Chains A and B, each alone.
Chain A
């Protein structure tokens, strides 16, 4: 059974500093997704990572994938308040399996 684990589950960030969220998954998968969810809102697709070594960047967020280690990271550069949200990674395994989510809070 495919399992997806994120850590940390909560992250209180200071503006301007860098942070990393980790996403581990238990079995081989074709694709890994990162989604963002603001409180009470829907999920917004951020990145799709398709192959080993894939790296994608959008603004202050950069996602990478290591399929051999079954690990994806979401790196946040110089955190700003706008990044406060819950971030989910999800892995395809016949259906989409989500991690528990990481709740990010950026404080000035």
Chain B
């Protein structure tokens, strides 16, 4: 199984709603990621979980709240979003996120992306 799944595929929500995006992988990957992608732009990293712990938060507004219940699941809880938050939200996973001692850099394994959730905030 080399697949990352995401639900729902599409989501329309009002600015007062609370909703959650879900991501699942069964590849034994220990690093999971949330990205936001606007049309015609590259993905922008939001959060990284490594071994179920939040390791990177790219200064994302608190109306986005990530959660990693176990090594296979990653959620993104949404509350009081703004219309400009409308985008494609991509989840990705990789085998690990390891610190490279020799070069003092972090070495990333290939990230595998899910199909995304297309979010529209009205």
B51 at the binding interface (Cβ < 8 Å): no
A95 at the interface (CB under 8 A from B): yes
Chain A residues with CB below 8 A from B115, complex form: 41-42
Asked if A45 meets B112 with Cβ closer than 8 Å, knowing A31-B107, A92-B106, A94-B106, the reply is yes
Chain B residues near A90: list those with CB within 8 A. Answer: 42
Q: Is the CB of A88 within 8 A of B42?
A: yes
Query: Cβ of B103 < 8 Å from any Cβ of A?
Result: yes
Q: Is the CB of B107 within 8 A of A30?
A: yes
* Contact string against B for A residues 36-53, beta-carbon threshold 8 Å, 1 for contact and 0 otherwise: 000011111100100000
B80 contacts A by Cβ under 8 Å = no
Closest Cβ neighbor of A50 among chain B residues: B107
B108 with A43: CB separation less than 8 A: no
Tell me the bound Cα distance from A92 to B109 in angstroms.
9
A101 and B41 form a contact (CB under 8 A): yes
List chain A residues, Cβ under 8 A from B113.
35, 42-45
Can you show 22 pairs from A to B with CB atoms below 8 A apart?
A30-B103, A30-B107, A31-B108, A33-B110, A35-B113, A41-B115, A41-B116, A42-B90, A43-B113, A45-B111, A88-B42, A93-B105, A95-B45, A95-B48, A95-B56, A95-B106, A98-B42, A98-B43, A100-B41, A100-B42, A101-B40, A101-B42
Interface residues of B (CB under 8 A from A): 40-43, 45, 48, 56, 88, 90, 92, 100, 103, 105-108, 110-116, 118
